[in-house]
């Protein structure tokens, strides 16, 4: 009953309000964040970040405590794949043709046919649970299935991903949830306006943070994560985020535990800040208008204009990152690296991204589930050693 009622509500509100999300929480640019999908040993009293991205399964009591501490929670689940450990997975398997091939490298996940209408109530149900629990926002992962070689059978198209992403955003908003676009930069121009913020892994490594320029110019927050040693990465992060007000967290490994270093671009990249402050001319106003969000993020945007700081030691940083990833990824390494080298091809980028993502997830899954497969264990151990 509850379900039909909320469906009706959703339908109604979509009809009348479209993407209107005024009442939904919108993170601000510059908010500090932490990515803690693995929260078993999460200790709120030592957490400094204001925005926490945690697994959808976290307990309501933790969410309540996070709110008491004046922080916000983004709840993570995959919407493009079915994850083995989700309570509702049977319902997905019960829909004929919905569950497809294994996500290459992520044996605990399978691609979903995101065009199936039967998928919508299942996802909507999760969103409702998130809303009921008090999640302020959701992050829906794996919206790039159309480009995955192992997922060819489903013959998904970019347009399918776009349609699904827009539906996700509208549905989240109708339930009072904010929603972030996870990776999937290939459609940011088409769907960016429907989303309230974005989350990105490794844009610094791939020299792609600048692809968020337009999105940032809409006044929306971008939460980035970089893996590696923060001291060694500093100049690289500063260079790559020059003029881009991305909230960055740095973690030594791709295991998304609480430990990490908030990287404050304003205070740690002096030249970025100066540039930003000084350059505020007139220009921005024009750029700013399109954004649905309205507010004039004026201060922030100009930075885009910034010159690329000449200083740095790119080589050093680059290398290390590479080193870090290989171990983690293990088997996929072969696949992964090629892309990196090639970088300029669109495909490569995609592949690379996935790897990053996958690694993170696997680790998370492994720990949570306890059912460690041999392979996974190996990966985890390796990660630990690296650090
Ligand atoms: C949580 O962190 C606080 C502050 O650092 C510390 O005093 C407390 O012992 C920690 N709690 C646990 C269970 O580790
Ligand atoms: C990012 O935006 C926040 C909020 O507007 C602002 O305080 C901060 O100075 C900005 N940082 C940069 C590097 O532009
Ligand atoms: C980042 O540093 C700036 C300048 O020191 C400061 O105003 C701002 O509050 C810091 N942001 C966070 C999230 O700590
Ligand atoms: C990002 O960092 C890399 C490595 O330091 C560098 O080669 C590249 O030019 C940077 N990109 C930008 C936009 O600054
Ligand atoms: C992060 O964003 C960049 C564009 O800014 C994108 O090219 C990259 O693929 C994203 N990272 C991941 C892991 O998708």
Residue 265 beta carbon below 6 angstroms from any ligand 2 atom:
yes
Which domain CATH number covers 204?
3.20.20.70
C-alpha closest to that of 200 among 189, 184, 215: 184
Atom of ligand 2 nearest to the CA of 265: 13
359 domain residue, yes or no: no
In this structure, are 177 and 312 located in the same domain? no
Provide the token pair at 31: 């908010």
Residue 43 beta carbon below 6 angstroms from any ligand 1 atom:
yes
Residue 34 beta carbon below 6 angstroms from any ligand 3 atom:
no
92 domain residue, yes or no: yes
pTM of the full structure: 0.73
In this structure, are 151 and 297 located in the same domain? no
C-alpha closest to that of 171 among 379, 340, 15: 15
Helix/strand/coil for 373? coil
In this structure, are 251 and 290 located in the same domain? no
Helix/strand/coil for 213? helix
In this structure, are 229 and 305 located in the same domain? no
Note down pLDDT in tens along the chain; length 387 residues. Answer: 444 444 555 544 444 444 454 589 999 999 999 999 999 999 999 999 999 999 999 999 999 999 999 999 999 999 999 999 999 999 999 999 999 999 999 999 999 999 999 999 999 999 999 999 999 999 999 999 999 999 999 999 999 999 999 999 999 999 999 999 999 989 999 999 999 999 998 999 999 999 999 999 999 999 999 999 999 999 999 999 999 999 999 999 888 999 999 999 999 997 654 444 333 333 333 333 333 333 333 222 223 222 333 222 222 222 233 333 333 332 232 233 333 322 333 333 333 334 344 444 443 333 333 222 322 322 222 233 222
In this structure, are 316 and 169 located in the same domain? no
Helix/strand/coil for 104? coil
In this structure, are 312 and 230 located in the same domain? no
Nearest alpha carbon, ligand 4 atom 12: 240
362 domain residue, yes or no: no
Number of folded domains in the chain? 2
The set of residues, in sequence order, having a beta carbon less than 8 Å from that of 149 and lying 6+ positions away, is 104
Provide the token pair at 85: 């450990």
CA 53 to chain centre: 9
In this structure, are 226 and 107 located in the same domain? yes
Domain residues for the domain of 156 are 2-268+373-386
In this structure, are 248 and 288 located in the same domain? no
- Contact indicator for 60, 38 with CB cutoff of 8 Å: no
Q: How far apart are CA 85 and CA 82, in angstroms?
A: 9
In this structure, are 188 and 330 located in the same domain? no
358 domain residue, yes or no: no
How many A from CA of 46 to the centre of ligand 1?
7
326 domain residue, yes or no: yes
CA 63 to chain centre: 19
In this structure, are 207 and 316 located in the same domain? no
Residue 242 beta carbon below 6 angstroms from any ligand 2 atom:
no
7 domain residue, yes or no: yes
In this structure, are 301 and 262 located in the same domain? no
pLDDT digit string, tens, across residues 370-386: 222 322 322 222 233 22
In this structure, are 218 and 293 located in the same domain? no
Residue 202 beta carbon below 6 angstroms from any ligand 5 atom:
yes
Helix/strand/coil for 199? strand
277 domain residue, yes or no: no
Residue 312 beta carbon below 6 angstroms from any ligand 4 atom:
yes
345 domain residue, yes or no: no
Name the residue of 185, 244, 245, 359 whose CB sits within 8 Å of the most ligand 5 atoms, as the mutation to test its pocket. 185
């Amino acid at each position: 009953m509850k379900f039909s009622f909320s469906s009706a509500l959703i339908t109604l509100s979509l009809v009348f309000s479209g993407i209107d999300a005024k009442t939904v929480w919108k993170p601000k640019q510059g908010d500090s964040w932490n990515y803690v999908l693995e929260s078993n040993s999460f200790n709120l009293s030592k957490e400094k970040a204001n925005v926490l991205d945690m697994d959808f399964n976290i307990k309501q009591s933790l969410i309540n405590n996070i709110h008491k501490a004046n922080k916000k929670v983004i709840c993570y689940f995959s919407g493009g794949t079915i994850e083995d450990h989700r309570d509702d997975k049977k319902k997905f398997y019960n829909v004929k043709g919905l569950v497809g091939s294994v996500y290459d490298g992520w044996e605990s996940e399978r691609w979903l046919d995101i065009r199936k209408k039967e998928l919508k109530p299942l996802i909507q149900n999760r969103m409702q649970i998130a809303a009921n629990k008090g999640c302020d926002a959701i992050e829906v992962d794996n919206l790039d299935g159309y480009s995955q070689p192992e997922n060819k059978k489903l013959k998904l198209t970019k347009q399918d991903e776009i349609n699904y992403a827009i539906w996700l955003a509208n549905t989240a908003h109708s339930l009072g949830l904010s929603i972030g676009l996870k990776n999937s930069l290939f459609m940011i121009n088409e769907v960016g306006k429907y989303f309230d913020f974005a989350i990105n892994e490794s844009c610094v490594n791939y020299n792609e943070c600048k692809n968020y320029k337009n999105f940032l110019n809409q006044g929306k927050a971008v939460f980035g994560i970089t893996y590696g040693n923060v001291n060694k990465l500093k100049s690289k992060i500063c260079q790559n985020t020059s003029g881009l007000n991305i909230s960055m967290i740095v973690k030594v490994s791709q295991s998304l535990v609480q430990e990490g270093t908030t990287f404050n671009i304003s205070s740690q990249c002096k030249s970025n800040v100066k540039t930003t402050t000084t350059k505020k001319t007139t220009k921005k106003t024009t750029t700013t208008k399109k954004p649905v969000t309205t507010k004039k993020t004026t201060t922030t945007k100009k930075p885009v204009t910034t010159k690329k700081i000449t200083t740095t030691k790119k080589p050093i940083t680059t290398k290390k990152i590479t080193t870090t990833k290989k171990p983690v990824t293990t088997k996929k390494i072969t696949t992964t690296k090629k892309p990196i080298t090639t970088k300029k091809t669109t495909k490569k980028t995609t592949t690379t991204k996935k790897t990053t993502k996958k690694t993170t997830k696997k680790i998370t899954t492994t720990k949570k589930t306890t059912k460690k497969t041999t392979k996974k264990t190996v990966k985890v151990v390796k990660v630990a050693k690296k650090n």
